[in-house]
Amino acid sequence: MLNRVSSRPVFVLGIVLLGLASGCAGEDLSRSNYQRTTVTAEAGSGQGGVPAGPITDPAFGLSALRSVDPCELLSGDDVIGDLGTVSDEPYESEWGSCRVDVQDAGGKTVEVGVDLGASPMGVDPTGAIEGLPFLENKLDDVTCYSTAIYSEQPALGVTVQTGYQGGNPCDVGYTTLQKVVRALRAEPAKYDVPAGSLLEADPCASADEAVLAQVLGGSPKRMAMGLHKCDLSFGAEPTISVRFRAGYPPDTTDGGTEVDLGGGVKAIQEPGSTDTAECSVEWVHRPGEDGANELATVDYYDYNDGASKDDACSRALEVAKSVAPKLPTA
């Protein structure tokens, strides 16, 4: 199941994070200040008032969502059966994100994408959906983002993006999101996760605390940026980002150099292309076919005046050396 990441054109879930609040450590990042209710809402409206209080539903913890197969959500009749006929097999653009094209009864194409760890496009929820805070953004006559928010700090949710020239994309998005939320609460299909995989690993817990404090100048705040990425910082700058994903192995064609992380692990270190203090260290954690290698990436950036590019690479490498031995093993 982990080899599903496709090289086909990606249906981008272009979510922009606005108004993001400060982060917390560990798996508590999946909690917010909302309480589940039984408020119902009309399709596309999110009416019924925004739920208040903490969410404690285990279906929406980050550790639970990481292992859910999003393409299986879009494969069954329970979620997309009422939209029409599936045009092609759902395909995964990245872990936790999948898309599918459906032909409605009139032959119009309905594009449906789901992202299980999206940053909501907006600041405040406007209603409710299946007891979760709901946020809707209609970008134009054919494109709509519908989000069920499961975390306020950081802002995260399950987003359904719909593209539909044959009808109201927000109506389709709302009803599809309802079914996705119900499916997530009803033992959804999971990835077949091999031993040693990064798919279920928590990037916020992957770096050594003492190393981070030394590199960043103090004990860091940890901010989940989706299911498989975490930003760590002490103050506004500098920032360390740890990300796990599937992709092609890094190489030196873009000016990177090979570095040693210890324990036989080799990585590619690549400074940023501008004069700012940026550097990336990336390596293959678990080999796969084509674009299905499991990759770990540590990025360092500091946009303060006078920040050193040389320091960026040395600090990124230092953190990467602390991350590599803490990752899952087969």
Helix, strand or coil, per DSSP, at residue 122:
coil
Determine if residue 65 is left, alpha or beta; phi over 0 gives left, psi from -120 to 50 gives alpha, anything else beta: alpha
> Which of 200 and 52 is assigned the larger pLDDT?
200
Tens-place pLDDT, residues 6-17? 433 333 344 333
User: According to the model, what pLDDT value does residue 211 have?
Assistant: 96
Running DSSP on this structure, what letter comes out for residue 204? Answer: G
User: According to the model, what pLDDT value does residue 47 have?
Assistant: 53
169 phi, psi to nearest 5 deg: -65, -30
Q: Give start-end residues of each CATH 3.40.1000 domain in the chain.
A: 203-326
pTM reported for the whole predicted model = 0.84
Fold assignment, 203-326: Protein Transport Mog1p; Chain A (3.40.1000)
Report the chain's terminal Cα–Cα distance, integer Å. Answer: 17
Does 318 have pLDDT greater than 50?
A: yes
Tens-place pLDDT, residues 236-281? 779 999 999 999 999 999 889 999 999 999 999 999 877 789 999 9
Does 29 have pLDDT greater than 60?
A: no
Cis peptide before 238 (omega within 30 of 0): yes
